Amino acid sequence: MSRDLSDLVDLVARARAGDAGAFEALFRSLQAGIYSFIRGQVREAELAADLTQQTFVRAWESLPRLRQEGAFVGWLHRIASNLVRDEVKSGHARLEVAASDVLGDPPGVDLAPGPEEQVVSQGLRTAVWEALDGLPAEQRSAVIMHHMEGMSVTEIAQAMKCRPGTVMSRLARAREALRRKLSSYVEDSDAGM
């Protein structure tokens, strides 16, 4: 997903001035990424949806404090991270829970594709999320931000409040681990997927 930076800056400025239409455009553009980011940290889908809502509401309320419109995406992720951390602290959510411990459906069932997405097999989707489950939280978040949200290393560094080198290192280690976990799909893709 590529975002035109000048459009983003424009929308953020307007939203900051009270334009709910502009904020809605920001929401539409970023909601799947934020939801996936939160979903990667919090196992229950309903809680992830709740926290996604809270993230955007909190962002709307705090917008006047954001000086640099260009930093909006990283800033939004930090709001989401803080909300997740608060939920964990209050005991409502557990991080690092194995996929099989989730109440209700196994992962992948609620992870239905949006209408614009390419046809990707449900099996692959489930396999990827299960593989992500097995990663340490920091690596998982970095992978979601980079591959699913299309964020640059700089933006991820802003979101995680760390150095770009650290982001690279997390992405690299995650890539190695995922290559092993997804080896059957990786090999399959040799056949020209």
- Decide if residue 159 touches other proteins (CB under 8 A): no
- Decide if residue 152 touches other proteins (CB under 8 A): no
Q: Please, which of residues 2-61 interact with other proteins by CB under 8 A? A: 10, 13-14, 16-25, 27-28, 31-36, 39, 45, 47, 49-54, 56-58, 60-61
CB nearer to other proteins: give 20 or 98: 20
- Decide if residue 186 touches other proteins (CB under 8 A): yes
- Decide if residue 83 touches other proteins (CB under 8 A): yes
Q: Please state the closest distance from residue 47 (CB atom) to other proteins, in A.
A: 7
Give the distance, in angstroms, between the CA of residue 88 and the centroid of all CA atoms in the same chain: 17
CB nearer to other proteins: give 71 or 111: 111
Radius of gyration of the chain (CA): 17
Distance between start and end Cα atoms, the chain: 21
- Decide if residue 105 touches other proteins (CB under 8 A): no
The residue assigned the tokens 């909601």 is 31
Distances (CA, A) of 155 to 47, 75, 163: 25, 9, 10
Q: Please state the closest distance from residue 179 (CB atom) to other proteins, in A.
A: 4
Positive/negative CA dihedral, 116, 99, 96, 183: negative
Measure the CA angle with vertex 63, ends 25 and 73; round to 5°: 60
127 contacts 121 by C-beta, under 8 angstroms = no
Q: Torsion-angle region of residue 65: left (phi > 0), alpha (psi -120 to 50) or beta?
A: alpha
Q: Please state the closest distance from residue 4 (CB atom) to other proteins, in A.
A: 13
Q: Please state the closest distance from residue 20 (CB atom) to other proteins, in A.
A: 4
Instruction: Tally Cβ neighbours within 10 Å of residue 96.
Output: 13
Give the interface segment with other proteins, choosing from 68-76, 94-102, 104-112, 155-163 (CB under 8 A).
Answer: 104-112
Query: Could you say which of 9, 134, 147, 162 contacts other proteins (CB under 8 A)?
Result: 147
Q: Please state the closest distance from residue 169 (CB atom) to other proteins, in A.
A: 7
Give the distance, in angstroms, between the CA of residue 135 and the centroid of all CA atoms in the same chain: 15
